[in-house]
Structure 1
């Protein structure tokens, strides 16, 4: 199961929905967690613009004024929801993986800015953590860091980090190493950086998927970078077609390849971008 989490600072933008839909397709996303939707009447909003034509289910918490708001979208062919629990600062979608029948609780978190309120949210989540069976995956904008190295040019409060770490330990959660960069939040002026967004999983989840990966992607239309948790390993299979050097003897072929290589654009890790570029160029050549 592949999960994508992003603080979008509002969802009413075609550029944002096109960006997220592209990431959803590129990374094979089965569960999408959006924070800060800024939607007060989410029942009238068309979330399919983020997901595309494939079937999906959705759970939302409306914002209060222009502050907050959460949305979860998922593929019912991969994850079957049984119960949903709503809070202003988090949504818990509880169900099971269709293929394996594994019970799992997926939590979309948008923690408040106020430190005391955040600690209250940790306590509320702990209540569910202690009462619901199954594996746990928590994702989102936790608005806190775990140590001083996760902030740059912004204030680090040791007491807040200690409270956050105490919650993580008490809940029996761990993290995968995050690739793609050390920070997920970048201020509008580009000077302040923090790791506010993350995935926290229970030990049972990591035992089931020890080779899962977490990657922070490039930001485009938000001050937060999207983060992806992937348990489905990329497999590009056999080479789909053969390329012969003699093709370069065809008039205009080299110019065609160079022109298309120069036009390719993709936001993501370099190794994945290269694989996508080869796939894209292959289609151009075949057509």
Structure 2
């Protein structure tokens, strides 16, 4: 397990893995994100993981996106997985209830995702990952927790599966990312028929 210190009354970032499956080398530990290299034992799989806990305010979110941008630019690794609670949605369809306004933090988040060519690893259910636990018209649900992949999927050769786990005491549903074996390529050549 690798973890950061808690932020006030909020939780902290933690990275957990099955024993004897990977080695982890930590690179950066900040208040709102941490990064390290994961190397699978008995396989060639290797990538940089960035765990994110998005701040609440727009200015702090923008600062975190900027810090991660600098890290991505400086490191230049072939594969990244970036995940966590980003505390903002990408699209209005990811929110039920509350005001339907596109806020500046959402625009900044969309720009950050686009500029870094991030590919979202969709969950097995298209469910919301956060709920304010209120009832009736006061209830709001959003997709705040997610995983992204950055890099060359063909050379990564690992199947990635994100699943939303059952609700606990938190206002967030936990999201599990599984890396399942190596992707098997089919040795069928590409054929073209001129017509």
Same topology, TM > 0.5: yes
| Higher Cα Rg, which structure | 1
**Is residue 2:40 matched to residue 1:97?**
yes
C-alpha spacing 1:148/1:90, structure 2 compared with 1 (3 Å): same
Q: Residue 29 of structure 1 aligns with which residue?
A: none
Which runs of no fewer than 5 residues in structure 1 stay unpaired? Answer: 1-57, 234-287
Q: Residue 212 of structure 1 aligns with which residue?
A: 160
Q: Residue 153 of structure 1 aligns with which residue?
A: 97
C-alpha spacing 1:118/1:131, structure 2 compared with 1 (3 Å): same
Alignment of 1:16-95 (within 5 A): 58-75=1-18, 77-95=20-38
Match for residue 167 of structure 1 among 84, 97, 112: 112
**Is residue 2:55 matched to residue 1:112?**
yes
**Is residue 2:70 matched to residue 1:127?**
yes
Asked if the contact 1:180–1:217 (Cα under 8 Å) also holds between the matched residues in 2, the reply is no
**Is residue 2:131 matched to residue 1:186?**
yes
More strand as a share of residues: 2
C-alpha spacing 1:180/1:118, structure 2 compared with 1 (3 Å): same
Q: Residue 191 of structure 2 aligns with which residue?
A: none
Which runs of no fewer than 5 residues in structure 2 stay unpaired? Answer: 182-195
Asked if the contact 1:97–1:104 (Cα under 8 Å) also holds between the matched residues in 2, the reply is no
Distance across 1 between alignment mates of 2:143 and 2:157: 23
Distance across 2 between alignment mates of 1:118 and 1:163: 8
Distance across 2 between alignment mates of 1:160 and 1:173: 17
Distance across 1 between alignment mates of 2:154 and 2:173: 23
Give 1:137 deviation, angstroms.
0.6
SS at 1:91 equivalent: strand
Query: TM-score with structure 1 length normalisation?
Result: 0.56
Asked if the contact 1:68–1:110 (Cα under 8 Å) also holds between the matched residues in 2, the reply is no
More helix as a share of residues: 1
Alignment of 1:246-265 (within 5 A): none
**Is residue 2:179 matched to residue 1:231?**
yes
How many residues were matched structurally?
Answer: 176
C-alpha spacing 1:185/1:174, structure 2 compared with 1 (3 Å): same
Q: Residue 85 of structure 2 aligns with which residue?
A: 141
SS at 1:84 equivalent: strand
Q: Give the ranges of 4+ consecutive aligned residues of structure 1 lying more than 4 Å apart after TM superposition.
A: none
SS at 1:179 equivalent: coil
C-alpha spacing 1:163/1:184, structure 2 compared with 1 (3 Å): same
